[in-house]
Structures are given as structure tokens and as C-alpha cells.
Amino acid sequence: MSPVTLSLSLPHIVALALSASISLAQAPPMATYPAVPLAQKGPYQYPDGIPYKVDTDLNLIRGTQIGYNICNSTTENQESLCQTSFLNSLDDFCLWAPAEPGHEVGDIEGSMIAWCTKPGHGTRLIPDGAITGVQYTKTPDYVQVVGFIDQTKINILEGDYGGEMDPHGADLRGNPMGGIMFSNQFTGQYIQGIEWHNFIGSNAFCLKVCDPRGADAPNYCEHIFDRIGCKYNAPNEARDKVFESCDGESQDFPGVFTGADGVTSTYTQPPESLGPITTVTYEPRIPKSSNCVVFESKSIFTGLPTPSPSAASSTSTSSSSQANGSSNASSRSSASASNSAAASTASDTSGAAQLIGSSFAIVGAVFGAAMLLA
């Protein structure tokens, strides 16, 4: 390089360096909250009124949406990152679960993707045999599924207490970020369920989607009791090894209970700083169910992939908990499916665990992770 060239290059280099430093100095600080909270976006029309990504916010602390919301046959595979989910019936629902194994749910709630029980939604499919029991309930105010699952088949670590997904989160971007939910059970057509919650962990799950036409949707699908699991957020009569579809009455709002003295009270969840929740000061009322029809799993879950070995079978640092309880069969009215050999199990509670007694986080408390954004 000649002296003349060098003399011209140095000022140019200095100018570039100064320009870069000024640009960095003027970069806006990282923010926490989006311009519009997830629960206030939409409602979106399915399937043609959904954007490619619901969460398009940039320069926020949690980063960008991991997946996408336009999902169809081109995205339907076991690598899908679809974040549009559904709850339609006993044989047609989706759960939020990790895209990759190896992390506790509490650490990655913002990046969960949809795993469904039926082809046709453009999502990943829950492997055949992973779900071992489920109760679907339709009530005047919401639809709900509660069940049992080998969570390692959907990339959740063995022994992970799990966590709660909902359309809010501490930063209002939802968990997962950009995740939306639809159901065809309220009007006969697909409409977006603005309020919903999904607990999963300890080989059990519950998912509730509230009718957006109801004034109490935010109350039935409350999202602030993230540490006390399905027993208190979605009281139910689900039993392992039983697959049933029921009508039901609506539950009390999560956290609201009536004492023996007839006084209605609201439970206050203690902060995580006080340590594990070892007791809860009330027992939730289990809503009555009726018109229950029992099916065999092989007759309702079809077209699902065969399970493959997964790194999710590695043990979480959390210890495993069991879902225990009794059947409360007296509050139910069951009708057997005419072609179902499983119908005889409807009244057999021997060895059957129930999520009404699930210890999602009663012992262990924080689902194995500090849920700062749940």
C-alpha cells in the first residue's frame, strides 16, 4: 500500500469507527412489554385471517417468536414449529410442549409449540400411545381436557413438574409467545379462544379454553395460580386408562371457594420467595359431569406416529410426583359407547390415578424451575 493510499484510508477508517460508536450509543434500550399484549390481539379468523407470526415485536427482552401461526399440510411434520393450537373434542386437541428435548418446561415456556392428537392442523403429532387416559368435558362456559401422558414422548424431561402456558405471562406476550388457540365447540365454527390455560408436567396435563362470548372467560381461565396445578385450576374426574367424553357443569372460578361456614373466599398464592407450597388452604369443588361416553384409545387416536427414542427421557432435576385421588363416581352419569370394550373400566377405580389429586406443584412447588414469566 502506498503512503498516499494509507493517508486516505486512515481518516476513512476513523470516520467509520465514529459512525458505528454513535449508532450503538443511539440504539434504543431493550424493552419488556409489547405495544399490544397477546390477549388483546385479534381475534383472528381461522384459517385465512391469521398472520404468519402473531408476535412481531422486536427489541424486547425475551427475543422473538420461535415459530409461526400459518400452519397447513406443508408444516405438518415432527419438526413443525406451529404455534396455533386447538381444543375441539376428546380425539382432537393440542398440548403445548417443547420443540427440542433437554430443558425444563419452566425455562422455555415462551418457546413451546403445538403437539396435536389428530392430523390436519399443520402441527407435530403426539406419538401413538403417549396419552394413557383423558377426560374431555364441555360446560356452559368452557371446554376442557385433562389426562395422563408419557411426557418424554413430547420432549418433556422425565420427572419435570412442568408449568403453565397461557396468553398472558409476566410480560404480556404469552407463553408461548405468539401462541393462539381455537375451538369449534362454541358456535359450530372455529373461533379464537382468547382466554385459556394449559398445565403440563408430572406425566399429566389439563387444557381449558373459555368461550370468548362469556363475560367470565378471564375468570374461568384464570392465569395467576400457576404454582398449584390442575387440581385447583381445572378440577376434574379424569382417570388413567379411561378415555371419556362428558358434559359438565362449570367449576368455581380458580382460587374461589366456599367454606363450611358458607362464606366465599379467594385464595392468595404465596410468592416463590417464600419457598415451596406444601399446603393449600382449601379443597376445590369438583364439578358434576354427566352423559359420559367411554371409548377405547385405539378407536379415537388414529394416524399418529410411532414413538421414537428421545433425549427427553433424561431425568429432570425435579423429583417425580404422582397423581393420586379417588373417583367420586357418585357425581357422574356414564353412558357406554356401544362398540367400546373399554366401557367396563368406567367404574373400575382400582389402580386408577386421578388428576383431582394431582400434586403438580404442591410438593416441589415451582414446577422444577423459577417461573418468572408464567
Residue 4 lies in a domain: no
Residue 263 lies in a domain: yes
C-alpha cell recorded at residue 369: 424451575
Contact 139, 133 (CB under 8 A): no
Residue 21 lies in a domain: no
Number of domains comprising the chain: 1
Residue from 151, 179, 153 nearest 167 by CA: 179
Instruction: Output the pLDDT for position 307.
Output: 87
Cα separation, 130 vs 296, whole angstroms: 14
Instruction: Output the pLDDT for position 17.
Output: 56
Could you tell me the residue range of the domain that residue 351 belongs to? 31-357
Residue 374 lies in a domain: no
Judged by DSSP in three states, 94 sits in: strand
Residue 229 lies in a domain: yes
Residue 368 lies in a domain: no
Instruction: Output the pLDDT for position 28.
Output: 74
Residue 12 lies in a domain: no
Which residue, chain included where needed, has cell 406419538? 127
Residue from 247, 182, 251 nearest 222 by CA: 251
Helix, strand, coil content of the chain in percent (nearest 5): 20, 25, 55
Which residue, chain included where needed, has cell 500500500? 1
Stretches where the chain sits below pLDDT 50 are 1-8, 22, 24, 317-331, 333-354, 356-374
DSSP-derived secondary structure letter, 106? H
Mind giving me the DSSP string for 20-83? HHHHHHHSPPPBSS-SS-GGGS-PPPTTTT--S-S----SBTT---SSBS--STTT-STT--B-
Residue 13 lies in a domain: no
